[in-house]
């Protein structure tokens, strides 16, 4: 099935905008607290839209006294003025790198499928020169309309771009998943670069290129660079679109406080969190980890986990004899997001299935999508 390069076109347009941006005076602020929430209204009772870590830079839109109206990435809302240090600076928006598909021209592309056709023209009706084996490499000389023009050393031909990758990154809809808890997006591919934005673990970012150990990325309206050891190329293409969407929805609530019996964005317990996230995608689940284990979705082997799957655990000291004591949502890369009540933090956070506690008390997984 052919895919279009709409995203590449959009990102190319973004690149043009960034490249022509001029320096402009803007009042910025730096977060001084360890955890500051952006709220929908200037009130501690208002819904939290996102959570900012110390050192994050935001743009101040309005001063309301005890509150600032700010923008950060794709978010616009209100933060307590007590935890913002103001500074008026002249800033220039960094130039955006070229979209990944265009940056791939001139590089070696690897065939990712089996039995892939090397054709004489960019059409499924074109004659086939020969069949490519998985892992075959050729130089990419052009990318357009879902086709990759490649040179095998003696002739040029065309390969469906769905089956081509560069440095392990797929040409079509390239994404990375953040593997650190909170990662800086920088203005240049260096730790000396200014922090453009921050992104939390498990989030999916658009990959634009790989340059000297740094990925150029786009996320939430911000364009910049992330070190290659802070993200992995997203390999969840085999997951259902709904499952991936469930995982992304779950990640929107990182930092939301734990609340026993809670099942709303003001506070969750573990099964209240999974129940709430699933409901956003039209799925009904009971408010109990054991009940979700017994009656929600179909069983999945641990080796077959995909983003969006429920992962369940049983700590006998907390289960009161029930089958499960805890539940979360798998996000890929052996990690899951959950409403934690443990000593490591009572809020929605990301943990690894490899941690001794979760590995030891793992019960199984259920797939709803």
Q: Of 148, 230, 270, 324, which is the active-site residue?
A: 270
338 catalytically annotated: yes
Q: pLDDT tens for residues 178-210?
A: 776 678 899 888 888 888 888 876 677 888 877
Q: pLDDT tens for residues 292-306?
A: 999 999 999 998 898
Give the whole-angstrom CA distance, residue 246 versus residue 368: 10
* pLDDT for 8: 42
Band the pLDDT of 159: cuts 50, 70, 90. very high
* pLDDT for 55: 66
Give the whole-angstrom CA distance, residue 234 versus residue 336: 15
Q: Is residue 70's pLDDT more than 60? A: yes
270 catalytically annotated: yes
Give the whole-angstrom CA distance, residue 335 versus residue 136: 32
Average pLDDT of the residues of the chain: 82
In the chain, how long is the greatest CA-to-CA distance? Answer: 70
For the whole model, what pTM was predicted? 0.45
Contact 182, 236 (CB under 8 A): no
Q: pLDDT tens for residues 6-61?
A: 444 334 434 443 333 333 334 778 877 666 888 888 888 887 777 776 667 788 88
Q: How far is CA 41 from CA 45, 90, 196, in A?
A: 8, 28, 24
Instruction: Count the neighbouring beta carbons within 10 Å of the beta carbon of residue 337.
Output: 27
Q: Is residue 131's pLDDT more than 50? A: yes
The Cβ-side half-sphere exposure at 181, using a 13 Å CA radius, reads 9
Q: Is residue 251's pLDDT more than 50? A: yes
More confident residue, 99 or 160: 160
Highest mean pLDDT among 24-38, 93-107, 110-124: 110-124
Give the whole-angstrom CA distance, residue 276 versus residue 328: 12
281 catalytically annotated: no
Q: Of 230, 314, 324, 338, which is the active-site residue?
A: 338
């Amino acid at each position: 099935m052919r895919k279009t390069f709409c995203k590449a076109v959009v990102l190319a347009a973004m690149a043009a905008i960034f490249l022509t941006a001029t320096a402009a005076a803007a009042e910025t602020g730096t977060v001084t607290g360890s955890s500051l929430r952006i709220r929908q209204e200037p009130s501690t009772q208002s819904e939290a839209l996102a959570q900012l870590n110390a050192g994050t830079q935001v743009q101040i839109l309005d001063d309301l006294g005890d509150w600032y109206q700010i923008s950060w990435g794709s978010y616009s809302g209100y933060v307590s003025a007590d935890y913002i240090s103001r500074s008026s600076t002249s800033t220039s928006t960094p130039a955006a790198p070229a979209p990944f598909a265009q940056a791939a021209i001139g590089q070696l592309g690897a065939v990712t499928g089996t039995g892939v056709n090397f054709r004489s023209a960019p059409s499924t009706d074109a004659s086939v020169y020969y069949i490519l084996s998985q892992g075959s490499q050729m130089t990419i000389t052009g990318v357009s309309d879902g086709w990759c023009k490649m040179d095998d050393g003696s002739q040029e031909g065309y390969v469906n771009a769905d089956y081509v990758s560069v440095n392990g990154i797929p040409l079509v809809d390239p994404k990375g998943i953040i593997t650190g808890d909170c990662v800086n997006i920088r203005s240049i591919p260096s730790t000396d670069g200014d922090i453009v934005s921050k992104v939390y673990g498990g989030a999916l970012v658009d990959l634009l290129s790989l340059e000297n150990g740094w990925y150029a990325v786009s996320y939430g309206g911000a364009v910049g660079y992330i070190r290659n050891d802070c993200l992995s190329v997203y390999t969840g293409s085999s997951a259902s679109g709904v499952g991936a969407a469930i995982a992304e929805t779950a990640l929107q609530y990182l930092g939301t406080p734990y609340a026993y019996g809670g099942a709303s964005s003001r506070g969750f317990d573990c099964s209240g969190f999974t129940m709430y996230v699933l409901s956003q995608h039209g799925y009904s689940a009971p408010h109990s980890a054991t009940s979700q284990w017994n009656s929600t979705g179909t069983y999945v082997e641990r080796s077959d986990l995909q983003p969006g799957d429920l992962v369940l655990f049983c700590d006998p000291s907390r289960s009161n004899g029930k089958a499960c004591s805890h539940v979360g949502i798998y996000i890929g890369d052996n990690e899951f997001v959950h409403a934690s009540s443990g000593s490591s933090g009572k809020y929605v956070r990301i943990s690894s299935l490899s941690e001794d506690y979760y590995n030891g008390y793992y019960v199984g997984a259920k797939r709803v999508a």
